[in-house]
Structure 1
Amino acid sequence: MTETTNRIIRPYGDTTGDGMVQLSFTLPMPHSKVAEGAAAQLANKMGMDPALVVHAKAMGPDFTFFVVYGRVNHLVDPSQVQVVERDYPLLTPKEVNATVKESLRRRLVVVGGCIGTDAHTVGIDAILNIKGFAGEKGLEYYREIKVVNLGAQVSVPTLVDRARAENADAVLVSQVVTQRDAHILNTREMSAAFRESYPADRRPLLVVGGPRFDETMAGELGVDRVFARGTTPGEVASYLVHRITQRKAS
């Protein structure tokens, strides 16, 4: 355990341990002195004291965006933080291809898309398309991985049917739209549909990702893995190979 996780810490702003934080939010009020006062009041109620409105900008006629800077008295105990640690090795594309070829003796099949009304394909394309993300090539670049990218607004029945038709080893779903917890509801619907349609030992790996997912929610959502913001194609490819070769060996 590192030194950081062995001690109680405070936020850092101007000097070490001063407890200063910066917070941004929007209020449904036209920009005015009253709106700025309301923003400071909200920050006070959230535990910032003093709270200074350092930025206010009208967002159309009826909303105002604020940035508030102030001190909080809360302490942070890193030893109590729960995270999902990577429990598999990161492989190069060459290593991924070699492992798949040796273990499966066929191409690993991945079906992906955005389900429900989600039309934002940036996330799924970053992982699947050959152009990739963060300097890494997407899964289409891997010789031993067959990628079927269904794109946006894919219904859950269509996803299940295509996964069956392709004999998919893994299903990747990206969810960017999060209003009214749509990403949570869509994922639960998807995982339930796959569990109803497949025997437990034949179901493809279910992997979801998006900027508003919590990586600790995999069990709650009924999926095998949740990837949060910043995930690279190499991490996904390495995870898929790790889990599928584990299945093959068991």
Structure 2
Amino acid sequence: MSALPEGVPPVVRPYGDTTGDGMVQVSFTLPLPPGKRAEGAAAQLARRMGIDQPMVVHAKGIGDRYTFFVVYGPVSHVVDVAAVEVVQREYPLLTPKETNAAIRDALQRKLVVVGACIGTDAHTVGIDAILNVKGWAGEKGLEYYREMKVVNLGAQVSVPDLVERARAERADAVLVSQVVTQRDAHVHNTTTMSAAFREAFPATRRPLLVVGGPRFDETGAAALGVDRVFGRGTTPGEVASYLVHAVAGRSGGPAGQEAPA
């Protein structure tokens, strides 16, 4: 159990119309044509999910074989706030100027970052938001940092090609974005990638492996075999600050480089 900040209650319930009334709203699709039977099926599913007296407040046919629902109702469950597991940021957020200075002090060279979307994922909006100089959310991307060398490989990069390019660039860190999540493609691609890097590099020379995407669980880095997972809303400054913290803090020399004699 972790200590709670002052003013945070130990137990909470969902809030709908009044505090603590337990009201929740869920949406889902059933493979049933629109109609009364489909709405009854949606209500039955909601009751089995723990929603008491569910109200089907929206039902919309998707073609002639599927129906999308929004269901509203109360649940009796409570949340033990102290038992909630999250990834706390263990490093300070740095400005670009501070990041550049920290890299110069720690590495005496540029920090090399290779980024890509792997597998069949062609959605580069995530990796571009972090790497491209135009950035995202009012922050410039890693290309803006003078003490970083950024190699953006783009979309649909195979894992072997990513490993070879990381080796050729002597990358300190490899950033992978995964937006396509059907059938857990993001999980499969990431575990395949992490296994390939562990096979190709000695432990002390392996680049830092960082993945990001809207469907990743930030607590799942160990299961995926990577060093860090970033979820939705991550900004370039957060990634840059983490890279400085992690790469500069590695013992035996920076990742991807020869350790000092």
The alignment's TM-score, normalised by the length of structure 2, stands at: 0.92
Q: Which residue does 1:213 correspond to in 2? A: 216
User: Which SS does the other structure have where 1:84 is aligned?
Assistant: coil
Question: Number of residue pairs matched?
Answer: 250
Provide the C-alpha distance between the structure 2 equivalents of 1:121 and 1:244, rounded to a whole number of angstroms.
25
Q: 1:61 Cα shift?
A: 2.4
Identify the range of structure 1 (101-110 vs 189-198) with the bigger mean alpha-carbon deviation: 101-110
Q: Which residue does 1:188 correspond to in 2? A: 191
Query: Structure 2 matches for 1:1-250, cutoff 5 A?
Result: 1-3=4-6, 5-247=8-250
Per-residue Cα deviation, 1:136-181 (whole angstroms, up to 9, x for no partner):
1111111111111111111100000000011100000011111111
Quick check: which one's helix share is greater? 1
Q: How many percent identity over aligned positions?
A: 74
Q: Which amino acid aligns with 1:245?
A: A
Q: 1:210 Cα shift?
A: 0.7
Q: Show structure 2 runs of 5+ residues with no match.
A: 254-261
Provide the C-alpha distance between the structure 2 equivalents of 1:14 and 1:186, rounded to a whole number of angstroms.
42
The alignment's TM-score, normalised by the length of structure 1, stands at: 0.96
Q: Is the 8 A contact 2:59 2:68 kept in 1?
A: yes
Aligned CA-pair RMSD: 1.4
Q: Is the 8 A contact 2:204 2:252 kept in 1?
A: no
Provide the C-alpha distance between the structure 2 equivalents of 1:216 and 1:4, rounded to a whole number of angstroms.
25
Provide the C-alpha distance between the structure 1 equivalents of 2:7 and 2:188, rounded to a whole number of angstroms.
36
Q: Is the 8 A contact 1:139 1:147 kept in 2?
A: yes
